Amino acid sequence: MTLDRRNFIKLLGGASGLALAGHAAAQGKAPAVSAGSAAEIMPKGSARRVVVIGGGYGGTIAAKYLRMLDKSIEVVLIERNKEFVSCPFSNFYIAGLMPDMKALTIKYDKLAANHGIKMLHADATAIDAAAKMVVTSQGRLAYDRLVVSPGIDFMTDEIEGYDAKTPEIFPHAWKAGPQSALLRKQLQAMKDGGTVVIGVPLMPFRCPPGPYERACLISSYLKKHKPKSKLIMLDANPDVVSKKGLFTKAWNSYYKDIFQYVGGQVTKVDTKAKIVVADNFDDYEVAVANVIPPQRAGNIAVAAGLTDDKKRWCPVDAISFESTIHKDIHVLGDATLLPSDGGAMPKSGYSANSQAKVCAINIVALMNGKPTTELSAINACYSAVSETESVSVSHVFKVVNGKIKITASAVSPADFSIAKIEKAYGESWLKNVMTEMST
C-alpha cells in the first residue's frame, strides 16, 4: 500500500523540516530527519539511557523490566496522555456491563516511583536516528537506545468519505477512551428496531478476536434491551479470523434473531445520510455504525521511517525487536512485523507485554556486551461470548533459525464447558496485567 501524504502532513503538524521527513518515508526511504532547532531537554549525563515511546501495553512493561534488570540504565518513558485506558475489556464497557472505565484506567505515578522511571508526558513527533534524538512537543532528548511501542493508527483513506470528523459520528472505538464512551452512548440512545453495523477491516489489525467479541456483547445488549434491533457485521476478511468455531457457536445459539454475519468490506461512509456502503454491493442504513478502519503502525513509527511500506508495519528482528531499518531503535507491540515461520504473533496486549520483556532482557544484554537469549514468548487472550461466559486462545512462541515459531496454540473447548470459569479468569488476567503496567 502507499502511505498517503495527507496523513503525513497532518501528523507532522506543519513543522517544515519534518514534513520533508514524512515525504521521504512516503517514498519508502529512511528519512533524514534532523532534530532541528527544538531545545534539548533532560540532557543525558554519564548514565546510559533508553528512551521508550508509548506508555501502553508494550511501553510500560519495557520501561519497567529494563529498570528491574539493570538499575544503572536510565529509562525515560514518553507518553502523551496522563492516563492509559485499556482496550482489553472495553467491549464490556461499551455493552453497558461496566459502570465506568475505572477498571480500564491506569496512571503512571506508582510505576515511575517504584522503578525510578522518568516520565515525560509529551507527544513524540520525530526521531533523528543518526543523531539518536527524539523530538517531542516539549523539546528533544538524546538516547542510547530507543524503544517504540506506539500502537496503531488508521488508514482512513481506504474508505471513501471518511475524514477527521467521521469517528465522532461513526466511532471506531478501536482506541479506548472517549471513542468507547461515544459508541456506548449511541447504543443506549438508539431506538429499539435500529440497525447497528460493525465494519471489520482486512487483517492484520489490532486484536483479531476483538470485533467478534464486540459483536457478542453488543448483541447481548440488544437482545436484552432492544430486541427488535439488528446487528450486522461486515467483515472484509474472507472468514472469521479468530476463534471461529467458538464465536459462530455463540452467534448461532444466543444471538440468532439479532446478529447477522455478512462478508463485505466497508468502502464508503456517509455520516450525514447515515449510510455505510460495502463492496458486497449493499448499502446499509444505520442507526449506529462502528466502522473500524484498516490499521498500520502508529504515526510516529511511520514518521520515523520505521515501517516497511508494503506491510504498513515495522520490520524487526526476533531477538531484541531491533528495527531492521534503523539501528538502536526497537519496536514493540501492534506496530511490529516479526520474521515468522508459520503464524505471526497476534497483535494483542498480551503479545506486546511478552515482547517487551524479551526486548528488555536482550537490550540489557546488548548494552552490557553479554550474549542475547533466544525468545520465548506467550500470547493469551480471553474473549467474552456472552455476559457471563468467555473463551480463550493461547500461544507459545519460540525462535527457530531467527524466525518465530508457534510451539503450542489452542482454544477453549467448543462446548463452553469452562466458559463461566474463564470469564472469571479473564477478569483476573486484566487485574494482573494492569497491575503489572502500573506498579
Partner 1 sequence: MKRKWSRWSLAAGALALSATAFAQTPAQTPPTPEMVSFACAGCHGTNGGSAGLLMPSLASQSKESIVDAMKKFQSGERTSTIMGRLAKGFTEADFEAMGEFFSKQKFHATNQKLDKAKVKKGAELQEANCSRCHLDDGKDGKDDTPVMASQWLPYLQMQMDMYLSGARKMPEQMAEKVKPLSREELDALLHFYASVK
Ligand X SMILES: Cc1cc2nc3c(=O)[nH]c(=O)nc-3n(C[C@H](O)[C@H](O)[C@H](O)COP(=O)(O)OP(=O)(O)OC[C@H]3O[C@@H](n4cnc5c(N)ncnc54)[C@H](O)[C@@H]3O)c2cc1C
Contacting residues toward partner 1, per CB under 8 A: 64-65, 69, 350, 353-354, 357-358, 361, 371, 373-378, 380, 392, 394-400, 405-410, 412, 418, 421-422, 424-425, 427-429, 431-433, 435-436, 439
* Number of residues counted as binding ligand HEC (CB under 6 A): 5
In a 3-state reduction of DSSP, which class is residue 5? helix
Q: If you ran DSSP here, which 8-state letter would residue 370 be given?
A: P
Closest CA relative to residue 125, chosen from 133, 116, 117: 133
Site for ligand X in 254-293 (CB under 6 A): none
> Binder to ligand HEC among 378, 398, 406, 427 (CB under 6 A)?
378
Residue among 253 and 407 whose Cβ is closer to partner 1? 407
Strand partners, 289: 197
In a 3-state reduction of DSSP, which class is residue 25? helix
In a 3-state reduction of DSSP, which class is residue 109? helix
> Binder to ligand HEC among 85, 124, 301, 380 (CB under 6 A)?
380
Give the number of other Cβ atoms within 10 Å of residue 111's Cβ: 22
Give the number of other Cβ atoms within 10 Å of residue 116's Cβ: 10
Residue among 56 and 349 whose Cβ is closer to ligand HEC? 349
Strand partners, 410: 394
- 228 in Cβ contact with 192 (< 8 Å): yes
CA–CA distance, 270 with 283 (Å, rounded to integer) = 10
78 binding ligand X? (CB under 6 A) = yes
How near is the Cβ of 407 to ligand HEC at its closest, in Å? 12
How near is the Cβ of 398 to ligand HEC at its closest, in Å? 12
Residue among 42 and 275 whose Cβ is closer to ligand X? 42
411 binding ligand HEC? (CB under 6 A) = no
429 binding ligand HEC? (CB under 6 A) = yes
CA–CA distance, 33 with 266 (Å, rounded to integer) = 36
* Number of residues counted as binding ligand X (CB under 6 A): 37
Q: If you ran DSSP here, which 8-state letter would residue 102 be given?
A: G
> Binder to ligand X among 21, 35, 124, 404 (CB under 6 A)?
124
Q: If you ran DSSP here, which 8-state letter would residue 268 be given?
A: E
Q: Give me the residues that bind ligand X (CB under 6 A), please.
A: 53-59, 78-81, 84, 87-88, 90-91, 123-124, 149-151, 174, 206-207, 210, 298, 300, 333-335, 347-350, 352, 381-382
